[in-house]
Structure 1
């Protein structure tokens, strides 16, 4: 494991490296992140993991301030990985000037999470653009928990970085089905079972849809169940998994995506499924 904090230091380390695999993170690492790194080490001997809390993708300064900062713990988790370069830049290394570029993103960037977090995905693409340009990887790995983000990064990369392979990896969950997330650390330990009900509700909606029930009826049933437990729903929708367009009759490969708030903390999750009943 090698830790580097400057752009110049990173470039020096990567100068003669080929087949670089890159995993961007905002720190507060967990088993979900480690599963991405494990996959990266299977396909390359040069793996770069960035730890950078990107202010451009936060919609409020309060949300940015609340984001967990655990760099010492993160470094300890990564220490066993011999071939991993950890890039931990300061803000001015990534943004020498205040970023203000508006990217031409697909309309889906303003739907789902984009509807409730205006400018969020522009901020995500801003930092991805900067990091891809610095690191010049052959592949980049992302978790599917942020499915909309993954889709938008793929679409952006097709045009701006066509030689970079974008790899999506399955969401890692705990024993109760809760998707591992840095935001989970904002809850008390005894609340983790409560928040796993979000995934359980999405799963129930999927099962009802697979049994032939109308999507909207299934979703309304799930929203009612969540509301009864104190959740505030931003959205729960069924889309085509291939392009995130609204699912039409006859579409088989689907995904349910949801965002909801519990105790003023926002969580997202999704489940890919097939309408014939097989996931």
Structure 2
């Protein structure tokens, strides 16, 4: 089985050897407990690069108070099996102190794009995401890094950070992977009881309804949000965190759909917060 590397210098040494051979390196950053969604990112990276590094690091900086850091699922042995089967070449699994020595006091923050959507309720989240990714990009020096479109705001923020800070790599967004019944794959799905798992289907159902209306010409954002809201509220176990229709690039709210938009929702099913979205492109 593929072994995990725990030290930054070990990763740098291996990557430097690959670079000397002019090999292209892909990076798939994860927080572990890998599922089919993660595997799809690794599969894409394997196809497009000579070598692939998967980071498995549960980043404490992106969790706020009273969030689920302590109970977030962990299973490194299973993660290593997924990585090996998908064809990854190296798994980087550092300890927290390896990534953030006690003397650490530097952070990376992207403004504006992080104010709404998930950033409105999770004020430290994207600072933690951007800080850890900046470190991973420097450690691994990838040619491409792969992210799922389920975390649409994260993808937009990372693309902006890479552009603004002149990172020499390409950010690749990959489609949402869903269960057969439509629920978006997520490590947090494990928290759902059988009844909650069934209730969680309301997320995709509400988005499908909105997408259908948009395809048939509806362009009023407020009306579409109301339709999504009513659909979600029909499920007694669901509690809406947010429903937003925003510009797909700058994430600013829109009243009327006249360009490519992101329709994004966050919903609590019981105590579990789930996100889902779709992008609507005008022909």
Normalising by structure 1, report the TM-score. 0.92
C-alpha distance 274-103 of structure 1, shift in aligned 2 (>3 A): same
Who is 1:56 aligned against? Answer: 61
State the alpha-carbon separation in 2 of the partners of residues 110 and 132 from structure 1: 24
Shift of 1:191: 3.2
State the alpha-carbon separation in 2 of the partners of residues 258 and 250 from structure 1: 17
Kept in 1, the 8 Å contact 2:200–2:269? The answer is yes
Kept in 2, the 8 Å contact 1:45–1:83? The answer is no
Who is 2:169 aligned against? Answer: 164
C-alpha distance 241-264 of structure 1, shift in aligned 2 (>3 A): same
Which structure 1 segments of 5+ residues have no match? none
Shift of 1:81: 4.2
Residues 111-143 of structure 1 deviation map (CA, whole Å, 9 limit, x = unaligned)? 111111111101110100111111111110100
Who is 1:263 aligned against? Answer: 270
Shift of 1:83: 4.6
Aligned pairs for 1:10-49 within 5 A: 10-18=11-19, 19-49=24-54
State the alpha-carbon separation in 2 of the partners of residues 251 and 103 from structure 1: 33
Instruction: Confirm whether residue 228 of structure 1 aligns to residue 229 of structure 2.
Output: no
Equivalent of 2:97 in 61, 77, 92: 92
Shift of 1:159: 2.4
3-state DSSP of counterpart to 1:145: coil
C-alpha distance 250-73 of structure 1, shift in aligned 2 (>3 A): closer
Kept in 2, the 8 Å contact 1:195–1:262? The answer is yes
3-state DSSP of counterpart to 2:27: strand
C-alpha distance 199-82 of structure 1, shift in aligned 2 (>3 A): closer
Who is 2:190 aligned against? Answer: 185
Instruction: Confirm whether residue 71 of structure 1 aligns to residue 76 of structure 2.
Output: yes
Residues 29-63 of structure 1 deviation map (CA, whole Å, 9 limit, x = unaligned)? 00110111011111112100000000000012551
* 55-64 vs 123-132, greater mean Cα deviation: 55-64
3-state DSSP of counterpart to 2:150: helix
State the alpha-carbon separation in 1 of the partners of residues 124 and 244 from structure 2: 21
Who is 2:209 aligned against? Answer: 204
Instruction: Confirm whether residue 253 of structure 1 aligns to residue 253 of structure 2.
Output: no
RMSD after superposition: 1.8
3-state DSSP of counterpart to 2:45: helix
3-state DSSP of counterpart to 2:98: helix
State the alpha-carbon separation in 2 of the partners of residues 149 and 82 from structure 1: 25
Who is 1:4 aligned against? Answer: 5
3-state DSSP of counterpart to 1:66: coil
Who is 1:243 aligned against? Answer: 250
Kept in 2, the 8 Å contact 1:240–1:254? The answer is yes
